[in-house]
Structure 1
Amino acid sequence: MSEVSEENRKLRADRVKSFIPQQVYDTAGLRLSIDKLETIETQQVDATIELENLSIEEKLEKARELIGSTTVIGEVVKPYGPLVSSLADSIRRIYNSYEHAQYNKKISNVLLDRVDCIAAPVKALKRRKDKIENFLNQDYYNSLIRLLAVLKKTQQFITDVSSLWSLRKFPTTKSIKDRFERITKEFDGVIRDLNLEVRSNLELQKKRDTQALHSDIVILNEFLENIGSPITPKKQISPIFEEIMLIKSHINESNSGEIKLTQIPPNELIKTTRPKANDRYGNVIKRCWQTAETEKLVACKVIDTTPTQKFMDQLVLLNKLNSCSSLIRFYGMSSLDWGPIPATVIVYEWAEMGNLKNLYEKFVIDMPATFEISVGICRGLLFLHGCDIMHYDVRCENIMINGALEPKIANFRLCRPIHDDKEFQNISDPPEHWMAPEQFRNEKRSSYYTYKCELFSFGMLLWELAHGRIPYRGWDESKITKHVLAGNREKIKLGPSLNTFRIDFAKIVRAAWQDDPLLRPGLYKIFLDLDKLHKEYPWNKKLKPLEYNDDDEVIAVFPETDSNTEEIEEDDLFDSDIILLSSVRKRLKLSEGIKAHERGDEQKAWECFDYHASINNPQAKYWKGFYLWEGRCVKKDRTLASQLFKEAADQNHPDAQFFYASSLIEEGVLSETSEYLHYMTLAANNNNVDALCQMGEIYLDGKYNIEKDEEKAIQYLKLAALKNEQRALNRLHELGMKLFEY
């Protein structure tokens, strides 16, 4: 063995390490000592100098010779573990969002086709050790990052298009189409780049995309056209939903009781009956509310327990819900004599005809009456769901009927003391008669409840109303459970003649009764079907005493197999620490780039934003545009900055929408009014507080030749004020407006 100098030994040690990835070398404890290197034959050590020019496959083979195949595979694949876990978590969230979708299920479904295609290959990444070369490839890593990004966008898009209040983010249905097409294009591109052994016919998928878009957008346009006030007062989704969501958030975050309920003086609630006449109906007292300005009959509902502050705060929301005429109107709180001590009461509008169960027990509810009443109930439920509120107990007994024979939804969760639901409802029949099959299957049935459960209960209400009795009358819970879980339902009586409208109504009920929640149509589709029947067969608003007909034809429910019926937890886009081999250049997570910006390390922040913008991340585009606009760390380029703001704005980034709109103003002069108003409105609808304030100022002062509109201005300023924006609070104060006026 020939002697080598100290300098040559160090050189040779470096050469040995050069063909072993640094992390593999360090993790495996292979820091070969100089003494051990001396035991290697000279010709072997010298040969390592030539390894620099070897391919990845040849280097891996040499590494296997030194440390073994198992160690090489384990150390190379290990850094990708957190990334694969993030991908799997994103896929899980997408499926979860789809399960809770209320609108645009077909659009969401074709996106899930792509998710289904990549789900198995992503899962296989943890075991496909024979593809080890991929994990040493920078392009492969970048493609996985892009896949994670597009999965996040997909999940957010499904969330946005699947609920009424979030649909307000899209000013037109065309904007839904545009955003969908951007996501699918990016999705298809990253699938091609990764070569994940995906079996997918791209042309067939594009055909499905087109069909799904057309179908859902046609139905959505029809719904927005027909639902009317208060959901779409001007054929646009009302901002009332956003205001209610913000009030709910404010109540949940603050329990200070700063929002005050209307307190009705007891002396204004006057008895209207003779001294000995009954004015009590269960836990409801009838009174006449007399003031200098008004006089109306009211129902005073007794709360026989001390209401909590949370319950009092939640009642504040009932003031906002008053804008929907299909909900029982709430006036405030008071106290009345009830036994030895005064009782706290909630004051509602008086429903002269009692509840809907009382009505069908006394009068004939023919099919035209059923259609009109059902449409009113459905409109009220849609409004509640748009506010992210569920009823939890949909049945005829919880629908009040006023003197004009209009339905009023009552007794929903917000109207009850949180700790004392059953006593407060005063309902005689247990909920099992209206319960969805998945609730029976769930061990925690008392707490398990979704919008799909509510839709099933609404289907049971439709049956109850059409047949004039509660479902499964006289059955106990055990019998109902066994019957429903076997796929059976109540029998539908269509009458002596099978009229088309009766069959259409039966189809609606059966659709709501589907055993699989995902097969139940959205409530808005049920509304359209009921509304069509209601318009074709109008009700004359006349009732006649109940008559019985034993000749009704009974049609058995179709077996489920024969049926012909068709919230995010936000986190950083790259939320896992991704450890890379030395052959892959490590990139900062976007959140780390933002932290670098906050601590003043602008060069590191710029490099991070520049990289993530290059893989089409909208938040990174916004930050890159910001740096170019201000000339931070790079030469100022406001033209390119404005372009980046617009690209991110079109990808629905609220701050970018605000900045792009603002970039259209130079030295106080607006170059393009319509484009400015479009993007500033988008930013405001996406809850950018600066945009909310700006929109308030625009409509209040008539800036940039935009027509003044004080109602819109106050609306935007209130939304900003609910986010604790001092400018908006000051402006409302100047106008003499209070944030909470009830």
Structure 2
Amino acid sequence: MSKDSRKSTSNFIAQKERKSARFIHGLTITKKTLSVVSTVGDAVSPFLPAISTICTLIEQIVQIYENAQCYKKVCNTLVDRALMAELAISGLLRRKKENEENFRKQGFYIAFEKFAVVMEKIRDFAIDVSQISGVRKYVEANSVQERFKLLTSEFEECMKDLHFTLAVESEEQRIIDQRSLKEDVNYIMEYLRKINDAHYKDMALLHQEILSIKSQTNVKLKEIDSKQLSDPLIGKSDDRRGSVIKKLLRRTFDVACKPIVLQKSGKSNVNLAILEKVSDSPNILRFYGLSIVDNHEVMIFEWAELGNLKEVYEKHDIPWPRKVQMALDICRGIAFLHEVGVFHHDIRCQNVMITRNLESKLFNFELSREVNAHSVDITDKFMSCLFWMAPEKLNRDNPYNHKCEIFSFGMLLWELCFEKVPYKGKTTEYVGKHILNGGREVLKFNYRKGDDVIEIQKEFAKIIKQAWAQDPNERISLPLLFLSLETLCAKYAKPESLCGLLPDKSLVYDEDDDDFDCMTEFEDLTNEIDAPITLDEGIELHMKRDDESRKKAWECFSKHADLGNPKAKYWKGYYLWQGYCVEKDMVKAQMLFKESADEGIVDGQLRYAFAIFKKTMDPAGKKEFVEYLQRAANNGNAAAAFQMAMLYFHRSKSIDSSEFVEKDSELGIKYLSIAARNKFAKAIEEMRNMGLDI
């Protein structure tokens, strides 16, 4: 790119940032205008529901961008579209009189309704790609690009239909947007390839298992017979660490028995059940279940021979290549939690356990605090982790999110680098004010021995600064953080370079750290607009089950489906399939089921699967049947989860699955339990017949 082109691109990006800064103010003005217009019955009245919906969607798209974990550039581009829409609608309302002729045209009304549908699709797409737990829906690199291209094309068509000339994109903007999209897609695909966890190839299924557990008020936890616990064959001085006792489980491996100090509750059981699921990750300390030791109920965890990371660095020095490996392992554990919708809440070295083989495993995260062995009140908990806490979270009213977690990881990385607790010797009041004012710990490396060490320190310093940025939106994303550490690890933490721990004080650190680094009135006119009832109202009519209500529901579903609404397509297909108020047309119904399924409607995924099953069961049909059935199951549909279980058990009454689904009882039980937890009667009965706990 030439110097002039780079300057032009830079100016264009700066202009976009200035526009975004004015966005919320502009949206407020639009809503005020809308509230004034809504008080008068005029030509605009039929458009008000759609305009109000669009304004709400615009707000949601902006909020999604603010909270995006990944595909940040793509989400920013979608915000640009939202900004265009806001400006266009605001101008339209201000110039209502000049546009009165358009407001009386049925075609203009339909264009507005279609625009609302497109904005909803953009919102849903942004939700998926902005969160780590959603990006696996787009496992193929070109699927994000294709969806983005389709949605922006639909957006442009709507803008043209509404005569919103403000929305016409410049060629330069298109080039920048495509470049941003390509960059985002490349790094996310690389992240998904490298983060792949062999223990859980199907993260969507695990996420659904956790969601189904969260929906319960109480769950039964795995109980370990105390007879299976015995004392270690050879006792050691640290077999008892405070209230935690080391035992041998089934005379095979060491475990930690941690007393339950707080009163156990249904919610505690739910949290521990989730902990049991996520601890299958190699970077999270495994939770085995509950047992009784010395007449006290205890939690049984994997035994970490070396204790927590803070205890390790207080007794030993950790070589720099080993620090790189530890940092990557901790990051991998955090990423695993985020992908299944769990935040740790207390990232610091004290909550990372180290095994005999120097493996790093996350421990003591928020979901298990209710049964933490240390009985402390919420104020003590807050103060104990304040030195690692993001500035926005120092105000306890602010919600905790992934950006807070990234900040804490940056502080943990500083702690690991310098092998000491941050802000040592300073009061919590002083540190709190210091952090709020943009201050941070000293980031000054004094140890120099070999080029590799210098490069590791430089990369660590870069990552730390990106992680603890004062503005949450400027902090490095978790996928980019992981890729940075993975690249560093591949270069400097090769197996041959990973030695064990060093004697304490082997490494030299800068001790001169007293100073911290410091781093905003219309006429009432009649209308001839035919405005359909809302989709929700149509569904309510359907539930009444009488012919007149269903006739109105059919008209509603048909009109909204013609506007492109995915949920309406499902309902229109359902009426065509059943022959409600219309002649049966299973071919068209199947087409509508597929369209709704491909746009994420779970009921559509299930219906399309069985529509295929009814029509054909050739090899291609069987493969597609299982694909869509599994999509519905992984998205929480209880009936689909039950059918998947039967397929994996090879006990389906509808179809012989042995020729195209490999028998897998363990996977079958997982799907069966999801269906049972969602109150699916057949699944509950099946689990009872199999002697399994629900």
TM-score, structure 1 normalization: 0.77
Please name the residue that 1:455 is paired with. 406
Please name the residue that 1:116 is paired with. 83
Distance change >3 Å, CA 624–CA 202, structure 1 → 2:
farther
- Give the C-alpha shift of residue 198 in structure 1: 2.2
Are 2:625 and 1:676 equivalent residues in the alignment? yes
Q: Equivalents in 1 of 2:145, 2:638: separation in Å? A: 27
Q: Out of 673, 680, 686, which is 1:725 matched to? A: 680
Are 2:638 and 1:689 equivalent residues in the alignment? yes
Q: Equivalents in 2 of 1:71, 1:592: separation in Å? A: 21
Any conservation in 2 of the 1:149–1:617 contact (CA below 8 Å)? Answer: yes
- The secondary structure found in structure 1 opposite 2:288 is strand
Are 2:528 and 1:528 equivalent residues in the alignment? no
Q: Equivalents in 1 of 2:244, 2:257: separation in Å? A: 5
Deviation digits for residues 142-176 of structure 1 (CA, Å, limit 9, x no counterpart) = 22222222222222222222333333444544433
Are 2:226 and 1:265 equivalent residues in the alignment? yes
Q: Equivalents in 2 of 1:580, 1:304: separation in Å? A: 70
Are 2:107 and 1:150 equivalent residues in the alignment? no
Any conservation in 2 of the 1:467–1:493 contact (CA below 8 Å)? Answer: no
Q: Equivalents in 1 of 2:38, 2:307: separation in Å? A: 76
Q: Out of 459, 482, 486, which is 2:433 matched to? A: 482
Are 2:271 and 1:305 equivalent residues in the alignment? no
- Give the C-alpha shift of residue 475 in structure 1: 1.7
Structure 1 stretches lacking a partner, 5+ long: 1-69, 562-578
Deviation digits for residues 96-140 of structure 1 (CA, Å, limit 9, x no counterpart) = 222222222222222111112112333455544434504333333
1:333 partner letter: L
Q: Which has the larger radius of gyration?
A: 1
Please name the residue that 1:285 is paired with. 244
Any conservation in 2 of the 1:171–1:682 contact (CA below 8 Å)? Answer: no
Please name the residue that 1:49 is paired with. none
Moved more, 581-590 or 702-711: 702-711
- The secondary structure found in structure 2 opposite 1:130 is coil
- Give the C-alpha shift of residue 421 in structure 1: 7.2
Q: Out of 550, 557, 560, which is 1:609 matched to? A: 557
1:378 partner letter: C
Any conservation in 2 of the 1:588–1:608 contact (CA below 8 Å)? Answer: yes
1:281 partner letter: R
Q: Out of 381, 406, 411, which is 2:334 matched to? A: 381
- The secondary structure found in structure 1 opposite 2:502 is coil
- Give the C-alpha shift of residue 656 in structure 1: 2.2
- Give the C-alpha shift of residue 485 in structure 1: 2.9
- Give the C-alpha shift of residue 330 in structure 1: 1.6
1:534 partner letter: C
Are 2:361 and 1:361 equivalent residues in the alignment? no
- Give the C-alpha shift of residue 508 in structure 1: 1.4
Please name the residue that 1:658 is paired with. 606
Q: Out of 189, 200, 205, which is 1:239 matched to? A: 205
Are 2:196 and 1:228 equivalent residues in the alignment? yes
Please name the residue that 1:640 is paired with. 588
Please name the residue that 1:575 is paired with. none
Any conservation in 2 of the 1:645–1:657 contact (CA below 8 Å)? Answer: yes
Q: Out of 157, 167, 178, which is 1:210 matched to? A: 178
Q: Equivalents in 2 of 1:643, 1:350: separation in Å? A: 55
2:159 partner letter: I
Any conservation in 2 of the 1:285–1:301 contact (CA below 8 Å)? Answer: yes
Distance change >3 Å, CA 193–CA 658, structure 1 → 2:
same
Distance change >3 Å, CA 311–CA 681, structure 1 → 2:
closer
Distance change >3 Å, CA 721–CA 126, structure 1 → 2:
same
Q: Out of 424, 430, 436, which is 2:390 matched to? A: 436
Please name the residue that 1:403 is paired with. 356
Moved more, 465-474 or 314-323: 314-323
Deviation digits for residues 679-727 of structure 1 (CA, Å, limit 9, x no counterpart) = 3333333333333333333343353831423244444333323322233
Any conservation in 1 of the 2:88–2:167 contact (CA below 8 Å)? Answer: no
Q: Equivalents in 2 of 1:520, 1:669: separation in Å? A: 51
Any conservation in 1 of the 2:203–2:339 contact (CA below 8 Å)? Answer: no
Any conservation in 2 of the 1:695–1:713 contact (CA below 8 Å)? Answer: yes
Please name the residue that 1:90 is paired with. 57
- The secondary structure found in structure 1 opposite 2:248 is strand
- The secondary structure found in structure 2 opposite 1:400 is strand
1:400 partner letter: M
Any conservation in 1 of the 2:596–2:604 contact (CA below 8 Å)? Answer: yes
Are 2:437 and 1:471 equivalent residues in the alignment? no
2:489 partner letter: H
Distance change >3 Å, CA 405–CA 80, structure 1 → 2:
same
Any conservation in 1 of the 2:46–2:529 contact (CA below 8 Å)? Answer: no
Are 2:259 and 1:321 equivalent residues in the alignment? no
- Give the C-alpha shift of residue 456 in structure 1: 0.4
Q: Out of 485, 491, 500, which is 2:442 matched to? A: 491
- The secondary structure found in structure 2 opposite 1:101 is coil
- The secondary structure found in structure 1 opposite 2:343 is coil
2:286 partner letter: R
1:167 partner letter: V
Deviation digits for residues 321-344 of structure 1 (CA, Å, limit 9, x no counterpart) = 22112112222234445xxxx544
Any conservation in 1 of the 2:323–2:416 contact (CA below 8 Å)? Answer: yes
Any conservation in 2 of the 1:628–1:637 contact (CA below 8 Å)? Answer: yes
Q: Out of 468, 478, 500, which is 1:542 matched to? A: 500
Distance change >3 Å, CA 421–CA 108, structure 1 → 2:
farther
Q: Equivalents in 2 of 1:376, 1:533: separation in Å? A: 13
Please name the residue that 1:708 is paired with. 662
Distance change >3 Å, CA 661–CA 302, structure 1 → 2:
closer
- Give the C-alpha shift of residue 307 in structure 1: 2.5
2:209 partner letter: E
Any conservation in 2 of the 1:353–1:359 contact (CA below 8 Å)? Answer: yes
Give aligned-pair identity as a percent: 34
- Give the C-alpha shift of residue 560 in structure 1: 6.0
Any conservation in 2 of the 1:169–1:682 contact (CA below 8 Å)? Answer: no
Are 2:467 and 1:516 equivalent residues in the alignment? no
Q: Equivalents in 2 of 1:245, 1:707: separation in Å? A: 26
TM-score, structure 2 normalization: 0.82
Distance change >3 Å, CA 308–CA 693, structure 1 → 2:
closer
- The secondary structure found in structure 2 opposite 1:391 is coil
Please name the residue that 1:5 is paired with. none
Q: Equivalents in 2 of 1:104, 1:72: separation in Å? A: 40
Distance change >3 Å, CA 264–CA 452, structure 1 → 2:
farther
- Give the C-alpha shift of residue 401 in structure 1: 0.9
Please name the residue that 1:416 is paired with. 369
Any conservation in 1 of the 2:605–2:628 contact (CA below 8 Å)? Answer: yes
1:649 partner letter: A
Q: Equivalents in 1 of 2:146, 2:691: separation in Å? A: 39
1:268 partner letter: L
Please name the residue that 1:164 is paired with. 132
- The secondary structure found in structure 2 opposite 1:705 is coil
Distance change >3 Å, CA 580–CA 279, structure 1 → 2:
farther
Deviation digits for residues 582-604 of structure 1 (CA, Å, limit 9, x no counterpart) = 32112111122222333233322
Any conservation in 2 of the 1:472–1:480 contact (CA below 8 Å)? Answer: yes
Distance change >3 Å, CA 627–CA 269, structure 1 → 2:
same
Please name the residue that 2:147 is paired with. 179
- Give the C-alpha shift of residue 733 in structure 1: 5.1
Any conservation in 2 of the 1:271–1:287 contact (CA below 8 Å)? Answer: yes
Q: Equivalents in 2 of 1:465, 1:73: separation in Å? A: 64
Distance change >3 Å, CA 557–CA 663, structure 1 → 2:
farther
1:631 partner letter: G
- Give the C-alpha shift of residue 513 in structure 1: 1.4
Any conservation in 1 of the 2:38–2:48 contact (CA below 8 Å)? Answer: no
Any conservation in 1 of the 2:567–2:596 contact (CA below 8 Å)? Answer: yes
Moved more, 81-90 or 320-329: 81-90
